[in-house]
């Protein structure tokens, strides 16, 4: 239940009307700017021929999106369609061995797309972390896992390893670092879960089945090993009521989103326009605001489509994958700014909650958030932009906790209770979750570091 649900209907209608008018007005300015600047020399690299019958060119500034749905499209459709076909046959004929079929198909797909050298690199890291997990020492698993991750993110080790896999198509680098990074995260999860297991240890065969599940291999999301192993080992494959209907609805929505983005790129050059600062200075304030907002929403749509398609296939395989990212327009606090809930779950389980415990102590929370962002920085690839992003998000996350603890002092809490209810106060109560019961404070909400998010430890209202 959010703040909007608490507001009167006429206020909601007013806000919706005002937002619609603002979007339409700013969008008209962006459309005119896109139409008039279609043939500018400065935009020659970012705008290419598109729909000739409409007289529109296409914004191709995002090479990754363009590659997914042009030259790389056929490979994606072929690989995922093959996985769906083999998975369906296996689930009907021998459901108890479906994890083996997933692994074999994933191995063949990785071998066919990236070559034998890349497959050997990935297998070598799997063997290293499996060997470390035999010792059953968590600290050693962390050290080995983070060193393996650094070997793909820090020079000169990353260049040395990528040198074994010469590029043959445009997304070679994306697939190399994507598959390698997610492989290390999965191997660390496997090693830590093996340490937690009281009787015996998981086999390397379990690790290979977990790592080479094709829909998750290159682009995630990351399911922790305990969740994947429990779900993929289930023999009774029965679907819930309306589950197939929901899968079909989500599939249609994702196809619709892809079509909508393609239309948008032909009429609104939101990615190319900001590349020319002189041209941007001529735009109105409304157009600039709309341009910035469109870029934020596009980043979310891109992540939502990528994870949504993958999650739809995973649900066809009777898995319950992490949810897609939350819409950027519904984010109010640093604790919810995330794009990959798989990485979020991984960080929460193995780093943030492990160090921060109940997230009530300011010092432990600071240590937990710093550790979380240190690993996130390594995961994203250390560079100046990532450092800036991590520092400000880490500060914002802890600042929210400091404000929460400050206003939980009894004088402020009593003053807040006496104030009349209103949208602002309701919003603050939702976020800070301040409660008093006979002079005693209730447990705090569990918080996480951006871009990660965790469920609330109390039953407070959520925005």
HEC letters along 237-259: CCCCCCHHHHHHHHHHHHHHHHH
Residue 47's DSSP bridge partners are 59
Q: Judge residue 159's burial from the number of C-beta atoms within 10 Å of its C-beta, 0-12 exposed, 13-18 middle, 19 or more buried.
A: exposed
The residues, any chain, with a CB within 8 Å of residue 420's CB and separated by 6 or more, are none
Q: What pLDDT was estimated at residue 2?
A: 42
Q: What pLDDT was estimated at residue 9?
A: 56
For residue 130, the SS3 value is helix
340-350 burial, b at 16+ Cβ within 10 Å, e below that, comes to bbbbbbbbbbb
CA torsion sign, 400 to 401 to 407 to 413? positive
* Residue 445 DSSP symbol: P
CA distances from residue 185 to 110, 134, 148, 188, 335 in whole angstroms, order as listed? 18, 17, 10, 5, 22
| Structure-block tokens of residue 34 | 């896109």
β-pairing, 47-51 vs 56-59, is antiparallel
CA torsion sign, 415 to 420 to 421 to 423? negative
In order along its 463 residues, the chain shows pLDDT tens digits of 344 444 455 565 666 677 677 777 777 878 887 887 777 777 777 888 888 777 788 888 888 888 887 767 778 888 888 898 888 888 788 878 888 999 999 999 999 888 899 999 999 999 999 999 999 899 999 999 999 999 999 888 888 888 888 766 667 778 888 899 999 999 999 999 999 888 888 999 999 999 999 999 998 889 999 999 999 888 777 778 788 899 999 999 999 998 988 888 888 888 888 887 878 888 888 888 888 888 888 888 888 888 889 999 999 988 989 888 777 767 666 666 666 788 888 998 999 888 887 777 788 888 998 999 999 999 988 889 999 988 988 888 888 888 877 777 777 666 766 666 544 444 444 443 433 333 333 333 333 334 343 333 322 222 2
β-pairing, 56-59 vs 436-437, is unpaired
Nearest partner of 19 among 290, 274, 298, 257, judged by Cα: 290
- What does pTM read for this prediction? 0.81
Phi–psi pair at 441, nearest 5 degrees: -90, 140
Nearest partner of 34 among 223, 226, 272, judged by Cα: 272
């Amino acid at each position: 239940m959010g703040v909007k649900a608490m507001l009167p209907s006429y206020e909601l209608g007013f806000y919706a009307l005002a937002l619609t008018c603002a979007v339409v007005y700013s969008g008209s300015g962006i459309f005119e700017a896109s139409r008039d600047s279609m043939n500018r020399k400065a935009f020659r690299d970012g705008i290419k021929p598109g729909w000739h019958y409409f007289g529109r060119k296409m914004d191709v500034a995002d090479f990754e999106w363009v590659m997914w749905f042009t030259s790389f499209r056929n490979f994606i459709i072929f690989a995922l369609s093959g996985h769906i076909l083999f998975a369906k046959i296996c689930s009907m004929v021998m459901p108890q061995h479906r994890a083996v079929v997933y692994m074999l198909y994933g191995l063949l797909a990785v071998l066919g797309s990236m070559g034998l050298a890349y497959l050997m690199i990935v297998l070598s890291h799997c063997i290293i972390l499996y060997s470390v997990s035999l010792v059953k020492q968590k600290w050693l698993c962390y050290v080995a896992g983070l060193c393996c991750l650094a070997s793909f993110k820090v020079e000169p080790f990353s260049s040395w390893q990528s040198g074994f896999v010469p590029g043959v198509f445009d997304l070679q680098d994306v697939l190399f670092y994507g598959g390698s990074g997610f492989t290390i995260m999965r191997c660390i999860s496997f090693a830590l879960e093996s340490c937690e297991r009281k009787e015996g240890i998981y086999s390397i065969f379990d690790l290979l089945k977990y790592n080479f599940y094709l829909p998750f291999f290159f682009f995630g999301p990351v399911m922790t090993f305990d969740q994947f192993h429990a779900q993929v080992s289930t023999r009774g494959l029965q679907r819930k009521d309306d589950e197939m209907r929901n899968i079909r609805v989500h599939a249609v929505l994702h196809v619709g989103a892809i079509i909508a983005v393609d239309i948008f790129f032909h009429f609104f050059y939101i990615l190319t326009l900001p590349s020319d600062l002189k041209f941007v200075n001529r735009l109105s304030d409304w157009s600039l605001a709309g341009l910035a907002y469109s870029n934020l929403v596009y980043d979310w749509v891109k992540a939502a489509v990528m994870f949504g398609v993958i999650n739809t296939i995973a649900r066809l395989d009777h898995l319950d994958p992490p949810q897609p990212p939350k819409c950027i327009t519904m984010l109010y606090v640093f604790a919810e700014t995330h794009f990959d809930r798989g990485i979020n779950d991984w960080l929460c389980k193995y780093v943030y909650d492990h160090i921060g415990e109940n997230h009530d102590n300011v010092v432990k929370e600071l240590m937990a958030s710093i550790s979380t962002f240190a690993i996130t920085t390594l995961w994203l690839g250390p560079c100046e932009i990532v450092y800036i992003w991590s520092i400000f998000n880490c500060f914002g996350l802890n600042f929210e906790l400091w404000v929460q603890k400050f206003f939980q002092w009894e004088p402020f809490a009593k003053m807040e209770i006496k104030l009349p209810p209103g949208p602002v106060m309701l919003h603050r109560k939702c976020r800070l979750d301040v409660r008093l019961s006979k002079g005693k404070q209730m447990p705090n909400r569990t918080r996480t570091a951006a871009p990660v998010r965790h469920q609330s430890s109390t039953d407070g209202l959520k925005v």
